[in-house]
Structure 1
Amino acid sequence: GPRATTATRVLVDVHQALALLSRGRFAEAGEPAERAFRAAEPGGYDVLALPATTLALVADSARSRDLARQVLDGLPDADDLAVFAVRRGLQGMLAAREDPDAALAQFLDRGRSLDRAGWHNPAIYAWRGSAALLARRLGRTGQARQLAEEHHRHSLAWGAPAIVGRSLRVQAALAGRRRAVELLREAVELLDGAPDELEAAKACADLGTCLREAEPDAARRLLARARELAESCGAGRLVAREDGTFGHAELSRPTAELTAGEATVARLAAGGRTNTEIAGELSISRRAVEKHLTSLYRKLKIDGRAQLASVLNAH
């Protein structure tokens, strides 16, 4: 309500963002997460540093280096384990592409501190999965498998399908082809109908790629399903990564600024409003809404509203 305190509004935004993330809708989660991060008072970063932790999760899900730097720049100077975990996690994410050794060191440093405190929740602190894939890239097979097994064990203890499915995908990236197919089939089955459609899309893409030669028809169906799920989440195109798993491609940036009218229509359309609802809310004709959409799709270089939320968040 209008008399809600800043702290209450921050908490509501944080949980809205977390709910969206749990469905794989990282682009939509960006707005409430950033709003909470900007509004939170420095003294309000205690109790799990919720705004910073939530926006860091959005940055990691979106693979957004710009957003990761924004969080790092805005972190408070606090002797707080949650703030430390956010800092190390984002520093590792930023270093992973150019300096995997340094990135692995950041993740392991983060993990040691979290383990000492008993913070094992892989839904919030999934450092073992990232560290396992980095260790694999560096040729440290034994360390990679140990980290992947620990990650899977903690994921099973937590129990959420998306978290367990993700740990199965990490294990599959480290396994031989036959075992990888078994693990990925388990992940696809587990994630069928689960709330996190983006994680389901990645599992389908991983399995479809593994089956291209042995079962081409099944592979085509899985890859088509992966595209469908990814688009429904606003994630765009899925691409193979250097760590052996699939993720969404970097979202394209607009080449021209939107007008005020286009930006308003874009925001409402990305939020799920129909053209008729947008026209009624803005007191304009439905034809005017369609013209705005046609223009902004051209400027943003996208095909339709399925990609709209992702591109607007990146912009």
Structure 2
Amino acid sequence: LTEAAELLGDRDEEDDEQGVSPLDLVIDTGATTAERLLRSATLTEATLTAVVQAVRSLLLCDQPERAVPWSRTLLEDAERRGAPGWAAVFATLHAQALLRIGDLAGASSFAGRALEALPEGGGGTFRYAALAVLVGAHSAMGHYTEASRQCDRPLPHGLLDSLHGLAFLRARGLHHLTGNQPQAALTDFMAIGRIMQSRGIDRPAFLPWRSDAAQALQRLGKPQQAERLVLQQLALPDARRPWVRGLSLHRRALSVGSSRQRISLLEQAVDELHRSGDRLATAQAMADLGQTMQADGNAPMKGTATTRAAWSLARQCGATALCKEILPDAPLSDPAPERIVEPGPERPETRLSSSEQRVATLAAQGLTNREISTKLYLTVSTVEQHLTKVYRKLRINGRADLPIDLALGAVQAGK
């Protein structure tokens, strides 16, 4: 159990002789290389470390959804073998992957399973990797009491010497932002930065502390300090990655005064974050883009549609807190899990017509049937008929399951 608990990288701050840390190797290993290893390796004591690091590489690449099936399969394998330490590691990795792609309920569930696999009070600093996921998921879902309960626990000695501790500190800082405590959040983020820089592991692809701190500074009314941190992050090599670049552009956009420049930067941020697979961060950027467009006055209808699309995406993630922030008066019900349609050969009877595509795109943006009918000069009945065909062809239950790519495509097309 102890060996398995250490596999997520508590010792990643130790550089090798060439000055490249194990964290660098994990981050810089490509997804194709990682998957090649996972396909060829059988899970044994001899291969465990390499397998774990390969899954971590998938998690930290800009296609984190590729880590989801691998971590789930390996978790099931560990459980069949009756290996609680291995199960804790892969449940944590699975929870982290789900959180990264915006499946908040799933992330919370598997983080709980990871903790259950550990002995009471055991697991050392590794326990905080799963706790970080719990805090992030509960906070985003609006479960503030539970998130605060986890954040209020005293930090054990030596926790911040581990990557698990730094991840927990980031989750706590983000929770402070949700609870409107930007100064407390800034303290946590700057502490992460000092530690990572002092150890030579300053990789925003793992912990983007500068853009996090910039968000806190913006809340504190210090946009110039926020922009300096963002520009520093954009100058780092990791800024070539869509996730880091998208987070950085989002923060930079909110530090500029020109609405035209802000809209341009936010559109770029939405594009990059969508490419990165982070649905929750995409929804946050879309919400700010929609609000900026509405305030600008040049494209109020497009701004309204973008805001509704952001709300819809946040709802698919289960991000109740963000939904209430975007549209406070919009009714919320428990969102059904997003259904993923397996790709297959396209047949004429499953291809959307141009009219169905237009109607589905507007529906995915959050417009009502009557608003769609007005915009496209159709009757409400015709809109309903088109949507019925769309649902059947896409094999989904309703508009809440419409692929968010439809809404995002409309936003990006307006650049």
Quick one: which amino acid aligns to residue 188 of structure 2?
Q
1:219-298 pair list within 5 angstroms:
219-236=303-320, 238=322
TM-score for both structures, normalised by structure 2:
0.52
| Equivalent residues of 2:186, 2:213 under 8 A apart | yes
Quick one: which amino acid aligns to residue 234 of structure 2?
H
User: 2:111 is matched with which residue?
Assistant: 33
Q: Distance in 1 between matches of 2:338 and 2:218?
A: 39
Quick one: which amino acid aligns to residue 225 of structure 2?
Q
Cα-to-partner distance string for 1:293-312 (whole Å, 9 max, x where unaligned): xxxxxxxxxxx9969xxxxx
Cα-to-partner distance string for 1:13-66 (whole Å, 9 max, x where unaligned): 112112212211122211101221343355534579533443344355546533
1:90-129 pair list within 5 angstroms:
91-93=172-174, 95-96=176-177, 97=179, 99-129=181-211
Distance 1:270 1:17, change over 3 A: same
**Shift of residue 165, structure 1, vs aligned partner:** 1.7
**Shift of residue 112, structure 1, vs aligned partner:** 0.8
Distance 1:224 1:30, change over 3 A: same
Give the SS at the match of 2:252.
helix
Instruction: Compute the RMSD of aligned alpha carbons.
Output: 3.9
1:139 counterpart = 2:236: no
| Equivalent residues of 2:91, 2:110 under 8 A apart | yes
1:40-189 pair list within 5 angstroms:
40-41=118-119, 44-45=123-124, 50-59=129-138, 61-62=140-141, 64-72=143-151, 77-80=156-159, 81-82=161-162, 84-86=165-167, 88-89=169-170, 91-93=172-174, 95-96=176-177, 97=179, 99-154=181-236, 157=238, 159-176=240-257, 177-189=259-271
Cα-to-partner distance string for 1:63-99 (whole Å, 9 max, x where unaligned): 6533433434667624132354256445544554455
Q: Distance in 1 between matches of 2:167 and 2:213?
A: 15
Cα-to-partner distance string for 1:201-247 (whole Å, 9 max, x where unaligned): 22222212211211123223322322332232233474586xxxx6x
Give the SS at the match of 1:211.
helix
Quick one: which amino acid aligns to residue 238 of structure 2?
A
1:23 counterpart = 2:104: no
| Equivalent residues of 1:84, 1:110 under 8 A apart | no
Moved more, 144-153 or 38-47: 38-47
For structure 2, list consecutive stretches of 5 or more residues without a partner in the other structure.
1-78, 341-397, 402-415
1:207 counterpart = 2:262: no
Quick one: which amino acid aligns to residue 54 of structure 1?
V
Q: Aligned residues, how many?
A: 259
| Equivalent residues of 2:125, 2:165 under 8 A apart | no
Select the structure with the greater relative contact order (CA < 8 A; seq sep ≥ 6).
1
| Equivalent residues of 2:316, 2:338 under 8 A apart | no
Q: Distance in 2 between matches of 1:138 and 1:205?
A: 20
Quick one: which amino acid aligns to residue 246 of structure 2?
G
Distance 1:271 1:71, change over 3 A: farther
| Equivalent residues of 1:128, 1:147 under 8 A apart | yes
Give the SS at the match of 1:50.
helix
**Shift of residue 173, structure 1, vs aligned partner:** 1.2
| Equivalent residues of 1:197, 1:233 under 8 A apart | yes
| Equivalent residues of 1:234, 1:306 under 8 A apart | no
Cα-to-partner distance string for 1:235-276 (whole Å, 9 max, x where unaligned): 3474586xxxx6x97xx999xxxxxxxxxxx9xx75969xxx
Moved more, 177-186 or 50-59: 50-59
| Equivalent residues of 1:52, 1:75 under 8 A apart | no
| Equivalent residues of 2:92, 2:130 under 8 A apart | yes
Cα-to-partner distance string for 1:165-206 (whole Å, 9 max, x where unaligned): 222111111112222111111122334465333322222222
- Percent of matched pairs sharing the same residue: 27
Give the SS at the match of 2:254.
helix
Distance 1:170 1:37, change over 3 A: farther
| Equivalent residues of 1:148, 1:170 under 8 A apart | yes
Quick one: which amino acid aligns to residue 217 of structure 1?
M
Larger Rg: 2
1:297-308 pair list within 5 angstroms:
none
Q: Distance in 1 between matches of 2:292 and 2:332?
A: 31
